[in-house]
Amino acid sequence: MRIYETHAHLDFDNYKNDRDKVLASCFKAGVQKIINIGIDAESTAYSIKLSEKYPQIMATGGYHPSTVQKYDEDTLRKLLNHKNIKAVGEIGLDYYRLYNPIDLQKQVFESQIKLALEFNLPIVVHDRDAHDDCFDILTKHKPRKVVFHCFSGDVKFAEKVLNQNWYISVTGVITYKNSNLDDVIRIIPKDKLLIETDSPYLPPIPHRGERNSPEYLIYVIQKIADILRLAPKIVAEQTFLNAENFFEGV
């Protein structure tokens, strides 16, 4: 089984003492490709550094809603030129934690969408309690390739996203008892589903409370396989091909 991790933060300090070991364990478990996600200029630069060290890792570049007060378009522009940058992200709106004023979040989100179009890169969206505003700002610019990372909407919102031909990505949250994503997963066309861990956050059951790792994607795969009544191997392979298509244009 080969596995494609589409959203991890392995540059974070959570891995500073054993990053190489964690990655070796992931590769051994079949995680063949990893997208390491930037949340500001520093973490984007570190993601690029990881991609230069490990051929299995690719990077994204962008300012997360929690860092938009530091937004510097020229710096991001330079980072996006690197050949290992496969998307702009994670970018979006977070009305749950409201790290930054909504106006500033919207302004920086929009500026980064324009950069994605200019650089012809897909967009990884962070949407927390901001479904309608994320959707409206995105559709205004008509980007072709968008994924809603750690999707948290209902079936109705999923339909809106899928009608744009965009992608939906799910995390270990789908293994939690209070998850209501089963019905969402059932309506996603098989070529539009991506999987991720969002490591170090959101560890799937039975690892809740621990630091997450891309190797735990197996639990996300198993849960999807249960919901769709498919073999885990089929789910892993289909989501692998989808991720290649989304990030690498394969």
Q: Which amino acid is at 93?
A: L
Pairing of strands 3-8, 57-61: unpaired
Between 43 and 239, whose beta carbon lies closer to Zn ion?
A: 43
Q: How far is the CB of 149 from Zn ion (least distance, A)?
A: 6
- Give the shortest CB-229-to-Zn ion separation in angstroms: 30
* Distance from chain centroid for Cα 88: 10
What is the rounded CA–CA span in Å between residue 147 and residue 124? 5
Q: Which is nearer to Zn ion, 70 or 186 (CB)?
A: 70
Partnered with residue 194 across adjacent β-strands are 169
Total of chain residues touching Zn ion, rule CB under 5 A: 1
> Which residues in 47-66 contact Zn ion (CB under 5 A)?
none
Q: What is the rounded CA–CA span in Å between residue 99 and residue 93?
A: 10
CB of 223 to Zn ion, least distance (A): 19
Residues 158-217 that bind Zn ion (CB under 5 A): 198
Nearer of residues 37 and 80 to Zn ion, judged by Cβ: 37
Give me the residue whose beta carbon is nearest to Zn ion. Answer: 198
**Nearest distance in Å: CB 59, Zn ion:** 13
196 vs 215 by CB, closer to Zn ion: 196
CB of 162 to Zn ion, least distance (A): 22
C-beta of 40 vs 198, nearer to Zn ion: 198
Binding site for Zn ion (CB under 5 A): 198
